[in-house]
Structure 1
């Protein structure tokens, strides 16, 4: 768990940096995918899942 958590932090910082300089290509997309899989294995996954469910429920209730 400790290794995956540190990998999540490092990959998150790297993705943030790439977004900051507006430089994303295919290897970066793969890096983001690896980040997502590692994030899903941490204790933050249930919190993120709950936030996404809440957001989708909110967006589902909007009517235009």
Structure 2
């Protein structure tokens, strides 16, 4: 749980900076956020969560 909250905060900061700097416009960012929100309710969400958990575990061991 702590890892996922940290990742959400980090990604939120990155998106905010990218929108402010002009690299990403607001509407494409909102479209990506909506896509992620709806992707989380599909059957592929556990696979993505497990893969990210494995990567986080691998990074923690370094």
TM-score class normalised by the smaller sequence? 0.5 to 0.7
RMSD: 1.2
Runs of 4+ with deviation above 3 angstroms:
none
Tell me what 1:32 maps to: 32
User: Normalized against structure 2, the TM-score is what?
Assistant: 0.60
Which one has the largest radius of gyration?
Answer: 1
Structure 2 gaps, min length 5: 1-22
Structure 1 gaps, min length 5: 1-22
Choose between structure 1 and 2 for higher RCO, CA contacts under 8 A separated by at least 6 residues.
1
Instruction: Provide the secondary structure at the position in 2 that maps to 1:41.
Output: coil
User: Normalized against structure 1, the TM-score is what?
Assistant: 0.58
Cα distance in 2 between the residues matched to 1:42 and 1:24: 26
